[in-house]
Structure 1
């Protein structure tokens, strides 16, 4: 699917991460020093941020949203749309975005809802927010994206433990007459659903005790199925198959070229994969952002986190023609070509230890 978003601009971006750091380069309880070096060379991840048990993705996103509103000088009552993109909702019911509306002080006239998407979620969130503003009387929107991926990992799973970290991001959009159009390309292929999934915990394979009689072995297997299962070979094959055509389609749809791009920020999956994608798409290294070292793969938050961590000065000092591309779990993918900046310098903040967590 393709869409054009007109007269809407990206007004700001911000990210928040937990204070707690963990590095297998320094902690050799799971990987030897030699193994950790090889992992670092392949994944590009030196350390990850890991949220404490009482912190949820919503807390990181609320902190990012609060910080962004303050940075922009926006009255929260001026925000008409709030989209929370996450695979880590606080509750089954209600939508986390409803609780966020109360906490952030948005008006009761605001449209607030959750979207269950991972790696492509930031692009989808920008598309939805832009289209909602363009088709309503709304003027401003917040897109909050974040996941606590570390909670999904099986202790001792050597394929996922070194890769995933926790983060939350926020982006603000507003109506701006004459803003350069944003061009979006989206797609889905559900045949890949089993290659990145958490099998148990939803309604299909519920964890609720007492619904059905289970043996201890069945219960143990069910809890194992409630952790992330990732088929790395299939993920890599899908990425190389789907993302280069996505980039070509998005650039062609936007009527631009790699040469005319200033910057490209893709979902920060792992450094090895990103380098393959860069070569296949022929994007010069100086235009291609890789930001794996300090945070790892942060799912839906990885693009706003990379924007905030690496491009604060660039986006604060001028207008940049950018390609943003997310891809992964689902399979789901999306790319957006937009003119971004100048905006208040995006930044990354640590979540304060005394941050009051989100409550209904």
Structure 2
């Protein structure tokens, strides 16, 4: 049984952190330099009392209204986040009640970052192919900015908060979901990590701030990203991932009409595009207005591409997510 993406919507918090505001706080960071290197002019920041579930509700409700979706037909809810409301209960269970979904549905959280949307599509496809669900609501929602130290100017320029809601169905949609490739390499776990807050390293009250060679202030309660190692990881694995997903779906580079990768930052994306040999006309970037929103970057880009009529007279679309874990995944979407 085929699984199809019927609709995508997304929500961005009201508070905006522009490059101008970052420059006011860190005058040594030139506005144009930030824009040209990251490809980001502004990012949205969740309010102090706004959490992943709150954004998820707004994204899902927007989806229901925008596409006139009968939520009583949803029979499974998948929620991807690395910033859940609680350790327990499961945030997806809370979302079932807040969204007014049937109590006869399945609901679960899964913890993945930049590869999360692609993994979520695979889970939804499996549920539909196995006859366990007909309409799966996949929500990605992340508040990474709550993990970032106020004086960590590097990560502040890159990450933004967002939530995206996607309906996957056994009924017709704007594209069907093809085959997948997955990958995992846990040896890179500490290169993108929030060390404290779990069971192994509970939150400490000590002030353990450390300033790196670039003037970024961090501690083990905050998001740490080893930019060099992450860049090296993507440069090694994403080209292999791209060629593997083409082979898995019996496609050549020429047969793919559009590539949508995880929107990490413009510099990294262009480096990957050139290394893989993807023409610029076939490579879609949509992060200027929201930044790197982790698991929501791909659905946001797909929404914007569809809005800009990028899917007209197109057939094959390759999406790829990669990052924290290390974790990576790709799949082919067949446009209709």
Task: Using structure 1 for the length normalisation, give the TM-score.
Answer: 0.86
CA distance in 2, matches of 1:34, 1:134: 50
1:83 Cα deviation after fit: 0.5
CA distance in 2, matches of 1:95, 1:13: 23
CA distance in 1, matches of 2:93, 2:278: 40
1:279 Cα deviation after fit: 0.9
1:128 paired with 2:140, answer no
Q: Which residue of 2 aligns with 1:355?
A: none
1:69 paired with 2:67, answer no
1:205 Cα deviation after fit: 0.8
Runs (5+) with no aligned partner, structure 1 = 1-5, 208-213, 342-360
Q: Which residue of 2 aligns with 1:185?
A: 181
Runs of 4 or more off by more than 6 Å in structure 1? none
1:309 Cα deviation after fit: 2.6
Moved more, 128-137 or 308-317: 308-317
Please report the RMSD computed on the Cα atoms of aligned residues, expressed in angstroms: 2.1
The within-5 A match list for 1:188-227 is 188-207=184-203, 219-221=206-208, 224-227=219-222
CA distance in 2, matches of 1:158, 1:313: 32
Cα shift readout 1:248-307 (whole Å, capped 9, x = no counterpart): 000110111221112111111010000011111211111111122111111111111112
Of 35, 40, 54, the residue aligned with 2:35 is 40
SS in 1 for 2:94: helix
1:96 Cα deviation after fit: 0.4
Runs (5+) with no aligned partner, structure 2 = 210-217
Figure out how many residues of one structure are paired with residues of the other and give that number.
327
> In the superposition, relative to structure 1, how do residues 287 and 319 fare at CA in structure 2: closer, same or farther (>3 Å)?
closer
The within-5 A match list for 1:213-292 is 219-221=206-208, 224-292=219-287
1:25 Cα deviation after fit: 2.9
CA distance in 2, matches of 1:318, 1:117: 33
CA distance in 1, matches of 2:42, 2:333: 31
SS in 2 for 1:162: helix
SS in 2 for 1:240: helix
SS in 2 for 1:334: strand
Task: Using structure 2 for the length normalisation, give the TM-score.
Answer: 0.92
